[in-house]
Amino acid sequence: MFAVGELVVYGGEGVCRVERIGIPDIRGVDREYYTLAPLYRTGQVMTPVDTKVLMRPVLSRRQAEELIAELPQLKPGEVQNHVRAIKEYYQNIVASYDCRQLAQLIKLTEQKRQQAAKQGKKVSQLDERYLHRAEELLYGELAVALEMPREQVPDYLQQVSPRWEITDHE
């Protein structure tokens, strides 16, 4: 069970702070709920303490630094070149909230972006949408672990791990 004030990664929200734990003042509800405040948007989320939705502690600083050290060696994800397979692959990674997989997705879409640019093209809207979502989730969690604003994370990653997104191996 998480404690009030603790930072967690929750379902479709990303990083949230546990605001309250208890039985809400709602007629017919008799079990405990977490009230969560997403860090990167306004509003609140209520979820049962025994939720089946993914909910885990955020990375520690040490875990974040270990992940960052691995970034240059991480291989981009691999996926079939079929829109339905790509969408399912991207959805599974985003739903997993696994930071390594999110980094691999970012590498894959950046690689696709580089290859498309060489041909004078752009990547698909699907690639762009999931790239953006993966960056939001990964950078949001790293920002909390490293105690820095989320907007500074991409520059920080380039400084400490300059080759992490360069994946074109033609």
Residue 39 pLDDT more than 50? Answer: yes
Residue 43 pLDDT more than 90? Answer: yes
The reported pTM is 0.86
Residues 67-94: tens digit of each pLDDT: 999 998 888 877 777 788 889 999 999 9
> CA 88, 92, 98: angle at the middle one, nearest 5?
155
Q: CA-CA distance, 155 to 162, in Å (whole number)?
A: 9
Residue 167 pLDDT more than 60? Answer: no
Answer whether 3's CB lies under 8 Å from 18's CB: yes
In angstroms, the Cα distances linking 124 to 33, 130, 133, 139, 155 are: 40, 10, 14, 22, 25
What confidence score (pLDDT) does residue 45 get?
93
> CA 111, 115, 118: angle at the middle one, nearest 5?
140
Task: Cite the DSSP H helix spans in the chain.
Answer: 61-70, 83-96, 99-118, 125-146, 153-160
What confidence score (pLDDT) does residue 126 get?
92
Structure tokens at 71: 């970034």
Residues 97-135: tens digit of each pLDDT: 999 999 999 988 888 888 889 999 998 999 999 999 999
Residue 168 pLDDT more than 70? Answer: no
Nearest 10 degrees: CA dihedral of 118, 158, 72, 144?
-130
Type and span of the H or E element at 78: none
